């Protein structure tokens, strides 16, 4: 590698080690996936590492299979990790429940230096203290009730940090300069009665062991930061860059988006026909922008352009309409830039059942003429049925059509027959030729496009909408198209 000076620039691009550290209590939803996306972007941008760590220290809230759900979500979005479950790494294990002795080793240091103590106080007694404070309307701080001669630590006893109340100042990359008073420092629990560490303690130890440089997480941890700073100091650790991510708000009300508001899992959107690219794009830009007017970003562009200091400090409301728009943009982008086949590969599983009897080649043809009206891939299911199965003839739909209402049934039948006759003579059954013939038919019958085309379109599809008539006819093929026109002529 060649160094040409400019160390300041190299310094700015120091390799960041970031992490996503969910607890396996269920699926990942729109509201919390940003804390995976942003760390990922920072890691990739700086050529650093992304760590996935499973914070499973709460054995009561643990949900079987949740880890797999999390991994599945990240993989779908294209957020790969360099260390963590499946891929391993030099700082494992990556499940906190398998790191108990590490936490115990670390907490020993604090116990030995007098910065932590084993707490023999019963939960009932603590509740009493709390009630006492509530009654007097003073803040409940456990350090005011600290036991005087703490015993030696033994199993079944929690360990608390011995707080040294003071004023803390720090910088949050999103919220700016922060400052809090001693009232924010307390004797927080480090190791629970069951021997498992609390989040408050475990994440400090793990981040240090894993070399994490940027701690990016939801704002709900902002007010606990003084206690984390106390721990960094007690261990003599360098503070990582602290990044608080504002909440995503539910579509209505002012609450953060959560499962209770019906926040769907991220992968549910996959099943609904949302593309991973669109999801990533939408989520990354919810509460972040690069200052330009660009709206559509590839993952690579996000990696290149993302910057922590342009993350909004206020919460952003989740708006599914915009996601849908963006998905449509992505469907078209993939088709236009990568071709019909590339888009087709994404549509597997979204076709109507009857499409299964047809060749891939035929389905691609259908896709090529309907793709620009898809909002989600799942739209294929209700939009393309007539390409695969003869529609139910519905005379009323024809007769009642707003352009055909003024024509008698005999006239309609006649028009249909003339159309069949004309179309039978088409030499090459291609969109261009069909358009020519359709135009000739227009002059021969002296009908308006609205009348003639509506009639043929309806007779052939019986659908509320369809692609341009010549394209629809081309894909349907001569035999099918003519047979359907005849069937309608007979039914009238």
Partner RNA sequence: GGCUCCUUCGUCUAGUGGUCUAGGACAUCUGGUUCUCAUCCAGAAAAUCGCGGGUUCGAACCCCGCAGGAGUCACCA
- Give the residue numbers annotated as catalytic, written as ranges: 259
Helices 276-284, 34-45: axis angle to 10 degrees equals: 90
Asked if residues 128 and 150 have their Cβ atoms less than 8 Å apart, the reply is no
CA distances from 264 to 39, 220, 258, 330 (A): 22, 21, 9, 21
Sign for the CA dihedral angle at 54, 55, 57, 60 comes to: negative
d(CA 486, CA 488): 5
> Which residues sit opposite 90 in a β-bridge?
none
What is the maximum span of the chain, computed from C-alpha positions, in angstroms? 105
Which among 277, 293, 295, 275 has a CA at the least distance from the CA of 285?
A: 295
DSSP state of 295: -
Please, what is the Cα angle at 125 between 123 and 127, to 5 degrees?
Answer: 70
DSSP state of 158: -
Buried b (16+ CB within 10 A) or exposed e, 410-425: eebbebbebbbeebee
Non-local CB neighbours of 222 within 8 Å, separated by 6+ positions: 172, 175, 178, 244
d(CA 123, CA 375): 55
With DSSP H G I counted as helix, E B as strand and the rest as coil, what are the percentages for the chain, rounded to 5? 50, 10, 40
Asked if residues 183 and 139 have their Cβ atoms less than 8 Å apart, the reply is yes
Q: How many residues are there in the chain?
A: 492
Asked if residues 288 and 312 have their Cβ atoms less than 8 Å apart, the reply is yes
Non-local CB neighbours of 261 within 8 Å, separated by 6+ positions: 250, 251, 253, 255
d(CA 163, CA 184): 10
Please, what is the Cα angle at 53 between 49 and 59, to 5 degrees?
Answer: 175
Lookup result for tokens 């009493």:
128
Other Cβ atoms closer than 10 A to 87: 13
> Which residues sit opposite 117 in a β-bridge?
160
CA distances from 162 to 186, 190, 277 (A): 8, 10, 48
């Amino acid at each position: 590698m060649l160094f040409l000076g400019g160390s300041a620039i190299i310094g700015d691009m120091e390799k960041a080690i970031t992490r996503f550290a969910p607890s396996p209590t269920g699926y990942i939803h729109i509201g919390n996936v940003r804390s995976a996306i942003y760390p990922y972007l920072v890691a990739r941008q700086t050529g650093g590492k992304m760590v996935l760590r499973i914070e499973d220290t709460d054995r009561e809230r643990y949900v079987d299979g949740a880890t797999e759900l999390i991994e599945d979500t990240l993989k779908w979005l294209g957020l790969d990790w360099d260390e963590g479950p499946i891929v391993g790494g030099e700082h494992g294990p990556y499940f906190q429940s398998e790191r108990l002795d590490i936490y115990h080793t670390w907490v020993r240091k604090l116990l030995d230096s007098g910065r932590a103590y084993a707490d023999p106080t019963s939960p009932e007694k603590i509740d009493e203290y709390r009630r006492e404070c509530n009654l007097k309307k003073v803040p409940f701080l456990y350090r005011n009730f600290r036991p005087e001669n703490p015993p030696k630590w033994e199993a079944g006893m929690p360990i608390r940090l011995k707080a040294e109340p003071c004023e803390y100042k720090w910088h949050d990359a999103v919220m700016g300069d922060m400052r809090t008073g001693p009232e924010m420092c307390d004797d927080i629990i480090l190791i629970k009665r069951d021997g498992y560490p609390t989040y408050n303690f475990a994440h400090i130890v793990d981040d240090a062991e894993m070399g994490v440089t940027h701690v990016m997480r939801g704002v709900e941890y902002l007010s606990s930061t003084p206690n984390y700073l106390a721990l960094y100091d007690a261990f003599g650790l360098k503070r990582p860059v602290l990044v608080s991510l504002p909440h995503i708000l539910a579509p209505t009300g002012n609450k953060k988006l959560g499962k209770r508001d019906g926040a769907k899992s991220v992968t549910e959107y996959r099943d609904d026909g949302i593309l991973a690219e669109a999801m990533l794009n939408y989520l990354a830009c919810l509460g972040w922008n690069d200052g330009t007017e660009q709206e559509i970003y590839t993952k690579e562009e996000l990696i290149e352009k993302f910057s922590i200091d342009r993350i909004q400090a206020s919460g952003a409301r989740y708006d599914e309409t915009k996601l849908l728009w963006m998905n449509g943009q992505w469907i078209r982008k993939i088709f236009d830039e990568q071709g019909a086949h590339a888009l087709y590969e994404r549509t597997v599983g979204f076709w109507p059942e009857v499409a299964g009897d047809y060749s891939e080649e035929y389905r691609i043809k259908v896709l090529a003429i309907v793709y620009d009206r898809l909002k989600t891939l799942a739209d294929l299911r209700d939009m393309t049925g007539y390409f695969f199965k003869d529609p139910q003839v519905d005379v009323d739909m024809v007769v009642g059509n707003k352009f055909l209402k003024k024509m008698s049934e005999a006239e309609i039948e006649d028009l249909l027959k003339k159309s069949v006759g004309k179309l039978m003579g088409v030499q090459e059954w291609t969109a261009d030729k069909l358009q020519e013939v359709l135009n000739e038919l227009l002059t021969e019958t002296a009908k308006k496009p609205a009348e003639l085309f509506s009639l043929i379109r309806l007779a052939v599809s019986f659908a509320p909408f369809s692609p341009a008539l010549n394209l629809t006819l081309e894909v349907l093929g001569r035999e099918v198209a003519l047979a359907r026109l005849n069937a309608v002529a007979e039914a009238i």
